[in-house]
Structure 1
Amino acid sequence: MLDQALIIGASNGLLFGDMIIQLLTFIILLALITKFAWKPLMNVMQEREQHIASEIDQAEQSNQEAKRLMNEANDELKNTRQNAQQIIDDANETAKNQQAELIKAAKEEAARIKENARLEIEQERDKAIQALQTQVGSLSVQIASKVIEKELSETEQEKLINDYLDKVGEDNE
């Protein structure tokens, strides 16, 4: 039977010895490819896989860092806006206080001016009353001297004026 298989194989151009050589050549070729091509290729593929994984990790870290920085920037912007609003509120409060102080100072100045004017008016009135009393006194003495037709001495005239002024002063009070 084996002879028949060899004869049949030989008639087709295939020999059992050739098959074994081809099989051995294939195994040797497979071993050489595995050693010199497959392993380095697999090493390159593993390195590439590790590199890609590392790039993905770095991208995730960068993404997280960007999110953190964005949150910090938003917080800083929020704080800045709050600070700006606080400054505006403080400025408004200061302006209101200054306005109140200016109004108070103006009212005090107006009251002071009014009081000074009142005092000046009183002084002028007192001067006018005194001048009027003096004139009235002189006129009274002149009228009295004409009425009684006598000439009064200077001392008597002075006494009469003072008496009259005292009476006029009592009437005004």
Structure 2
Amino acid sequence: MSLHVGTMAFLLAVVLVLMLLVSKFALRPMVEVMRKRQSYIDEQISAAENSQKQAEQLIADQQAALKEARNEAHAILERAKKQKEQEAQQIIAAANERAEQMLNDAKAEIIQEKEKAVAQLRGEVGQLSVLLASKLMEKELDASEQAKLVDRYIQEAGELQ
């Protein structure tokens, strides 16, 4: 086997021409496709990361909104409890005030009725005194008859009532 310089040069030239042709028509388009595919994959990964960040942000926002809603609901319940307690205290105060007013009215009515009864009793006592005096003047009595007469008039006055 002998090496021929001419054949080697020809083969070398053929390999170089083939490499240039493969590089120009096959390798460059394939590298371009691979670069586009890598760019597409990078964009998809970036979009997925952005979507994940947005989802995490949305979850955080939803949790914050839920916490705020719970706090607001708690505040509403607390306000309702306070309002209920205030209304209950107002109702109790109004009832106490009404009871006090009724008690005062009843006392005033009792005093009024007492004064009426005393006035009526005074009138009756006055009448009985006048009657007793007129009876006593009609006849002179001794002490025992006078005591009997007074007792009888008192019994008659008790029966009149």
Q: Normalising to structure 1: TM-score of the pair? A: 0.73
CA apart distance, 1:31: 1.5
Match of 1:106 in 2: 95
Superposed displacement of residue 57, structure 1: 1.3
Shift in Å at residue 30 of structure 1?
Answer: 2.2
Q: CA deviation at 1:22?
A: 4.6
Structure 2 residue identity aligned to 1:93: K
Q: What is the CA distance between 1:16 and its match in structure 2?
A: 7.4
1:5 is paired with a residue whose SS is coil
Are 2:36 and 1:47 equivalent residues in the alignment?
A: yes
Shift of 1:80: 1.0
**Superposition map of 1:115-130 within 5 A:** 115-130=104-119
Deviation track 1:110-160 (CA, whole Å, cap 9, x = no partner) reads: 00001001101111111111111111111111111011018xxxxxxxxxx
Moved more, 45-54 or 17-26: 17-26
Q: Per-residue deviation at 1:97?
A: 0.6
Task: Give 2:61's aligned residue.
Answer: 72
> Which deviations, in whole Å up to 9, do the C-alpha atoms of 1:68-92 show, x marking residues without a partner?
1211111111111111101100110
Pick one of 86, 90, 97 that aligns with 2:86: 97
Match among 121, 135, 139 for residue 124 of structure 2: 135
The alignment's C-alpha RMSD in Å is 2.0
Q: Which residue of 2 aligns with 1:5?
A: 2
> What amino acid does structure 1 have at the position aligned with 2:107?
R
Q: Which residue pairs with 2:148 in the alignment?
A: none
Residue 18 of structure 1, CA deviation: 6.0
Question: Which residue of 58, 68, 89 corresponds with 2:47?
Answer: 58
Q: What TM-score do you get using the length of structure 2 for normalisation? A: 0.78
Residue by residue, what CA displacement relative to the aligned partner does 1:22-78 show, whole Å, maximum 9, x if unpaired? 543333222211101110000010111111111111111111111112111111111
Show structure 2 runs of 5+ residues with no match. Answer: 140-161
Identity of aligned residues (%): 35
Query: 1:21 offset after TM fit, Å?
Result: 4.5
- Which shows bigger deviation, 15-24 or 78-87? 15-24
Structure 1 or 2, whichever has the larger Rg, is 1
Q: Could you tell me which residue of structure 1 aligns to residue 142 of structure 2?
A: none
1:153 counterpart residue number: none
Counterparts of 2:98 and 2:2, CA distance in 1: 138
For residues 79 and 144 of structure 1, what CA distance do their matches in structure 2 show?
Answer: 95
Give unpaired runs (5+ residues) of structure 1: 7-14, 151-173
